[in-house]
Amino acid sequence: MPGQKQLCYIEDVFTVIGRGIVVVPTGLKSTMKAQDWIEIRSGDGSRYVARVRSLVKAANNKQGFLLSSVTREEVQSGDEIWSVVEPPAKEPPDIFFRAAKPTRQLPEVLTPDFWRRLVARR
């Protein structure tokens, strides 16, 4: 895509349980900040668009990027990170933080019957 530029290669990838995937870049040619969009290009030709959720400290004081919308299986060491000129019209679903289905059911402790049973036990 015109206007895109290669930013770096991925040196290391690891998972932070409950948070997401962290990639550690090597040879970063530009500054990155939270909420930036990037494209990850694999050696097999696959492309994945992801958002940088936050910047994190990795081993040896290297800077890593906590990413959304990609899984550990999709990202490998040696993949390329490219800039995204135009963010996607619709944000890809976040793999680790899917919203719970809304419900109209009250939690049990808020129902009048719960309190009646609790008082009746005493």
- What residues does each domain of the chain span? 6-97
Q: What pLDDT, in 10s, does the model give residues 95-120?
A: 544 444 444 555 555 667 777 777 77
- Contact assessment for residue 34 and residue 55, using Cβ atoms and an 8 Å cutoff: yes
Give the DSSP H or E segment for 120: helix 112-121
Instruction: Report d(CA 37, CA 65) in Å as an integer.
Output: 11
Instruction: Report d(CA 75, CA 40) in Å as an integer.
Output: 8
Phi–psi pair at 79, nearest 5 degrees: -65, 160
Name the token pair of 75.
């990202």
Instruction: Report d(CA 121, CA 102) in Å as an integer.
Output: 32
Phi–psi pair at 60, nearest 5 degrees: 60, 30
Burial readout 97-112 (b: 16 or more C-beta within 10 A, e: otherwise)? eeeeeeeeeeeeeeee
| CATH class belonging to 6-97 | mainly beta
The residues, ordered by sequence, that sit 6+ positions from 60 with a Cβ below 8 Å of its Cβ are none
Q: Which residues pair with 82 in a beta bridge?
A: 6, 39
Q: Is the pTM of this model over 0.85?
A: no
Q: What pLDDT, in 10s, does the model give residues 48-97?
A: 888 899 998 877 778 899 998 888 888 999 999 998 887 777 666 655 44
